[in-house]
Amino acid sequence: MRDSFPVEQAVGIDYFVSDTDGVGGRIKQSSEDFRVREIERFDAEPLDADSGAYGHLVLRATLHEWDTNDFAKRLSEELGISRERVAWAGTKDKHAVTTQLFTLRKVDAEEMENVRIQDADIELVGRSGRALQFGDLAGNEFEIVVRDAERPENAEQIRSELQAFGGGKVGVPNVFGQQRFGSRRPVTHEVGLHVVRDQWEEAVRAYVGNPYDSEPERTQEARETVEDAFEDRDWSSALEATPGHLGFERAMLNELVENGGDSPEDFRAALETTPSNLQRLFVNAAQSYAFNKILSERLSRGLPFDEPVAGDVVCFSEQVGELTLPDVDRQQRVSEKRVQTVTRHCERGRAFVTAPLVGTETELAEGEPGEIEREVLDELGLAPEDFDLPGEFHSTGTRRAILVRSELEIEEGPLRFGFSLPKGSYATVVLREFLKTDPASE
């Protein structure tokens, strides 16, 4: 085990579990170097199925450098339909080649004949009686190329160390990656922590001010002006200094200009000018940060990730094709008497040790795992009842597997990795163990 980089520690990721020096190099030098294919649990009927009973056309699109939302909008424009009639299971990174299913409500196959979208290969799959939903996403298959690797020969030794950590398969702590918090400016968890602590002014300030060296100089200067405006309560000057491309920030500041910014309710109203999904993301990022800190503390104490100790809470698994998924709706607390029995379940892939994404209904572990969870939450000034929040900020919480495992293929010339992960787990979290490059330098 070795220490991580400062930018990783800032989001709760304190260690690498493998000791061998990384291969170095870079990913995503081009979109072709990062390929993702969704694994869905979604069945389609044949294309000639009755469109009355099966009112959704199912298609598979391979997208080259397309944001999923942007592609859905373009597809709806090409068909002359509402964007609300386009559905998918998971949102993908723009800087990649991604393959995923879409459903189109009340669209016939013939209407797709003249649809041509640049950098998108579209295949008609069939029909369905319902639209795709997020729950239909089971996982993702990845094929990732590392360019300019300095020590490609180290990949096999790192794989061996990760197999030892994972109990036979390549395993890594199932932490939330940098992109969860903002790759260039990791502040979403800072905003969320303030929200959960009922610090609405501090939450807004963390988002609209709070300059980062990784931002363009003009943006840093604007945020510094905003910081001064918070001291002077001069919201008009802050708004004037904030450039147009910072749309969410301007919306918050405009609300403060209008409501005066004199009370916690005024700052909460400013934060509520952001889209509902971003409001949820703030709190989710705070939960993710606490989760990462809990896993780092578990690592520092030398507790296992591939098997339980007394007091742990495990969840059982479900199988989707060759992918083994944690089912967090089926949980069990591990007593001293049942440690050996549950360990065998974990060894066979039938159960996973979990940690909390804390919320109002989250039950914490007991024993040493519970001690870790409570110490981290106390350190952050958080408790489950703190997540009883208004509107989109409210969260009941859940638990999440602490280990993600996969069969992993490695090829050289150039260095290439192939593996599959359950939804919600990050390919970059697996690759960071192999590359060991500073995210701040990317």
Which range (83-97, 162-176, 251-265, 390-404) has the least confidence?
A: 83-97
Give the strand order in the sheet containing 398-401.
323-333, 313-320, 351-357, 398-401
Q: Are 358 and 397 in contact (CB under 8 A)?
A: yes
Q: Are 393 and 279 in contact (CB under 8 A)?
A: yes
Cα-based angle 341, 346, 351 (whole degrees, multiple of 5) = 100
Closest CA to 191 of 275, 287, 91, 266: 287
- pLDDT bin (cut points 50, 70, 90) of residue 442 is low
What would you report as the CA-atom Rg of the chain, rounded to the nearest whole angstrom?
23
Query: Tokens 């004199």 correspond to what residue?
Result: 262
| One CATH from 2.40.50.100, 3.40.190.290, 3.30.2350.20, 3.90.245.10 for 278-401 | 3.30.2350.20
- pLDDT bin (cut points 50, 70, 90) of residue 134 is confident
* DSSP run (H or E) holding 16: strand 15-16
Q: Are 308 and 368 in contact (CB under 8 A)?
A: no
Cα–Cα distance for residue pair 286/132, rounded to 1 Å: 29
Average pLDDT, stretch 6-28? 94
Cα–Cα distance for residue pair 219/243, rounded to 1 Å: 7
Q: Which amino acid is located at 368 in the chain?
A: E
Cα–Cα distance for residue pair 192/267, rounded to 1 Å: 14
pLDDT digits (tens, 9 = 90+) for 89-113: 988 878 899 999 999 999 999 999 8
CB crowding 129-158: b at 16 or more within 10 Å, else e: eebbeeebbbbbbbbbbbeebebbebbeeb
What Cα–Cα distance (Å) separates residue 44 from each residue in 75, 84, 99, 133, 417?
Answer: 20, 20, 16, 14, 31
Cα–Cα distance for residue pair 248/269, rounded to 1 Å: 13
pLDDT digits (tens, 9 = 90+) for 377-413: 999 999 999 999 988 999 999 999 999 999 999 998 8
Tokens for 195?
Answer: 């929200």
Average pLDDT, stretch 289-306? 97
- What is 88-104 written as a DSSP string? ES----SSSEEEEEEEE
Backbone φ and ψ for 171, nearest 5 degrees, come out as -135, 140
We find that the CATH architecture of domain 188-274 is Orthogonal Bundle (1.10)
Write down the domain spans for the chain: 2-27+147-174+405-441, 33-129, 188-274, 278-401
Q: Please, which residues have CB within 8 angstroms of residue 84's CB and are 6 or more apart in sequence?
A: none
Name the pTM for this structure: 0.90
Q: Residue 183: is its pLDDT beyond 80?
A: no
Question: Is the fold of 188-274 the same as that of 278-401?
Answer: no
What Cα–Cα distance (Å) separates residue 391 from each residue in 261, 268, 395?
Answer: 20, 11, 9
pLDDT of residue 276: 86
Q: Please, which residues have CB within 8 angstroms of residue 162's CB and are 6 or more apart in sequence?
A: 17, 18, 170, 171, 172, 433
Q: Which amino acid is located at 224 in the chain?
A: E
Active site residue 43: no
The DSSP bridge partners found for residue 174 are: none
Q: Residue 365: is its pLDDT beyond 90?
A: yes
Catalytically annotated residue among 14, 33, 93, 306 = 93
The chain-wide mean pLDDT, for the chain, equals: 92
Closest CA to 10 of 173, 205, 178: 178
Closest CA to 299 of 13, 36, 91, 26: 13
Cα–Cα distance for residue pair 434/425, rounded to 1 Å: 16
Tokens for 441?
Answer: 């330098």
Cα–Cα distance for residue pair 294/174, rounded to 1 Å: 11
pLDDT of residue 321: 80
Tokens for 234?
Answer: 């001069």
Cα–Cα distance for residue pair 112/59, rounded to 1 Å: 10
Tokens for 215?
Answer: 């931002």
Instruction: Please write down the HEC assignment for all residues of 287-356.
Output: HHHHHHHHHHHHHHHCCCCCCCCCCCEEEEEEEECCEEEEEEEEEEECCHHHHHHHHHHHHCCCEEEEEE
Query: Tokens 């299913």 correspond to what residue?
Result: 101
Cα–Cα distance for residue pair 103/384, rounded to 1 Å: 38
pLDDT digits (tens, 9 = 90+) for 190-240: 999 999 999 999 999 999 998 888 888 888 988 998 898 888 889 998 899
3-state SS, residue 175: coil
Classify 33-129 by CATH class: alpha beta
